[in-house]
Amino acid sequence: MDREAGAQADKPSTGAKKHEIVVEPLGISLFAYEGETVVEAAARQGVRWPGVCGGIAECGVCAFELLSNEEDMAPPTAIEGARLRRLRRRPDAVGPLRLACQIRVHRDIHVHKPGVRAPRN
């Protein structure tokens, strides 16, 4: 694959399916193209999502609580699962943890992630 074709493959086609990501406690909505990670969707819309390792599942800083029904989500991959097992959940956590840099969005989701910053207008 040449460089230009690779770059075009990264861009969703105009007919790509979109899903809503509602982020609490900020109360904003993002949209993700089918199969995009939460971090990729946030970055594309100028939203700052906490993270340190550059999206390689090492820091765990991007982890969020999933408020949507977990049964409708794809299970964590081996790399995501390994990192999640080393994370501590807050005592008042209401949903399972997932990594925003790893989870791929295939439906509308509702999440809780303190520290997310909306874009400046």
Binding site for ligand FES (CB under 6 A): 51-53, 55, 57-62, 83, 99, 101
| Nearest CB to ligand FES, comparing residues 16 and 46 | 46
| Nearest CB to ligand FES, comparing residues 15 and 82 | 82
CB 104, min distance to ligand FES, A: 13
Token duo for residue 15: 């007919």
d(CA 4, CA 91): 48
| Nearest CB to ligand FES, comparing residues 16 and 82 | 82
CB 7, min distance to ligand FES, A: 23
CB 14, min distance to ligand FES, A: 29
CA-to-CA dists, residue 109 to 1, 5, 59, 112, angstroms: 33, 31, 23, 10
Burial class (CB in 10 A: 0-12, 13-18, 19+), 23: buried
